[in-house]
Amino acid sequence: MGKLFRRCAGAVVFNSSGLVLLGNRIDVPSDDWQFPQGGIEINESPLAAAKRELFEETGVSSVIPIYTDDTPSRYEFTEEIKHNFRKRGIFNDGQDIYFSLFFFAGDNSEININTPQPEFKSYCWNTLEFAAENIINFKKDVYKTMVNRFAPLIEQYLKTLS
């Protein structure tokens, strides 16, 4: 039997300083940071899923879409994560993630991680490089690839603001 990869959308939100919004996951003891992300529902586009997940996890809706991946990046869960998922009836081996890039057009008062089902214990604005260095190990390669793709897009967009 082949491996099963869940379709997933990730929201990379940057501000006028070129920093990106990151969350520190509530369900892991380590100090790993990641972008808001979650599963893509049936008949939902990766862009729509990224916007929905961003809002559900951070309360942020004041964003301007800049770019969305046409093809996903794939990562595989660790054996420990797969084992814990299987005990709960989840049989995904990993995720195919479509990243969407957004410009944050709101202000920080809009950010609210104290949602009905919180995903993050804290959030910060930091660099794309920080994100790639401080993501959980099994996602590092897809984050590094995304950084190489998105850094020039962020730089180009910020030049249009000045």
* pLDDT tens, the chain, 162 aa long: 689 999 999 999 999 999 999 999 988 777 889 999 999 999 999 999 999 999 999 999 999 999 999 999 999 999 988 898 899 988 999 999 999 999 999 999 999 999 988 999 999 999 999 999 999 899 999 999 999 999 999 999 999 998
What single-letter amino acid sits at 148?
N
pTM above 0.75, yes or no: yes
What single-letter amino acid sits at 2?
G
Provide the β-strand partners of residue 74.
96
Q: Is 24 within 8 Å of 122 (Cβ atoms)?
A: yes
Q: Is 14 within 8 Å of 20 (Cβ atoms)?
A: yes
Extents of the domains making up the chain: 5-161
What is the CA 89 to chain-centroid distance, rounded? 24
**Structural fold of domain 5-161:** Nucleoside Triphosphate Pyrophosphohydrolase (3.90.79)
